Amino acid sequence: MMTRFALTVVRHGETRFNKEKIIQGQGVDEPLSETGFKQAAAAGVFLTNVQFTHVFSSDLTRTKQTTCGILEKSKFCKDMTVKYDSRLRERKYGVAEGRALGEMRAMAKAAGEECPVFTPSGGETLDEVKMRGKDFFEFLCQLILKETGQKGQFSQGAPSNSLETSLAKIFPLGKHCFSEFNSDSGAPGLAASVLVVSHGAYMRSLFGYFLTDLKCSLPASLSKSELSASPNTGISVFIVNFEKGREAQPTVQCVCMNLQEHLNRVTEMC
């Protein structure tokens, strides 16, 4: 039996160190700036009608505050319990944390390497970050598979349809994506809709895993610039399909990546 769920990934709002281009990683736990709180609220307003069944966040302050800002604006998820997971933390930059981005680039140059491939002393390699992302994603798939089996959601069309409808109303590319799956008579509705709040370098690594390892399909309209680093509170949505007991890897379809139209409201407010 095929299981499908939606995965919405949001980067945290801006911090003072983001603006000053200072490396935070895991060791510098900077809170959101005034702009960062406005961005989180704007993302929350944009997502206000989306029905999430699960919410996960990195356990660092900037992601916790962003998650709170998003859920405060939600019509359906205000009282939802957030699960904080250290696997969603930003890449660890070791001795470069707390230093200017320019300093890390100089370290990389001295080592004969370039960012982001360069790993500062005490930091994580890109492969290590990727493995954290893969571990969390596989955990998520197994969690939803287990919960779906317990609830027998496939025999109840309404809940999954409402999850699908709430996303399709907000994400224009989603309408084509969802109808494409539904045209297959064997395609079930969404078993879950998951919100994840994380960090820029971590998200780039996770999306790279989707694209390279899982051969994630992209909307034809997606420009190359949208595949770069996510802006603060950039929103990306994926539809994940997998089968119980099958050796085959999950298939992932990108609905949108690094969406930032909600940030126009922040510019108007400032």
pLDDT tens figures, 237-263: 999 998 877 677 899 999 999 999 999
In angstroms, the CA 144 to CA 138 distance is 10
Domains within the chain, CATH numbers bracketed: 2-92+125-269 (3.40.50.1240)
Say if residues 56 and 197 touch (Cβ distance below 8 Å).
yes
Please say if 12 is a catalytic residue.
yes
Please say if 90 is a catalytic residue.
yes
What phi and psi, each to the nearest 5 degrees, are found at residue 217? -85, 145
Angle separating helix axes 172-182 and 157-168, nearest 10 degrees: 150
Say if residues 201 and 119 touch (Cβ distance below 8 Å).
no
Catalytic option among 12, 54, 199, 262 = 12
Radius of gyration of the CA atoms of the chain, in A? 19
pLDDT band at 208 (very low <50, low <70, confident <90, very high): very high
Q: What's residue 196's pLDDT?
A: 98
Catalytic option among 14, 54, 90, 262 = 90
Q: What is the pTM for the complete model shown?
A: 0.91
In angstroms, the CA 22 to CA 33 distance is 14
Show the beta-strand stretches assigned E in the chain: 2-11, 54-57, 83-84, 192-198, 235-243, 251-259
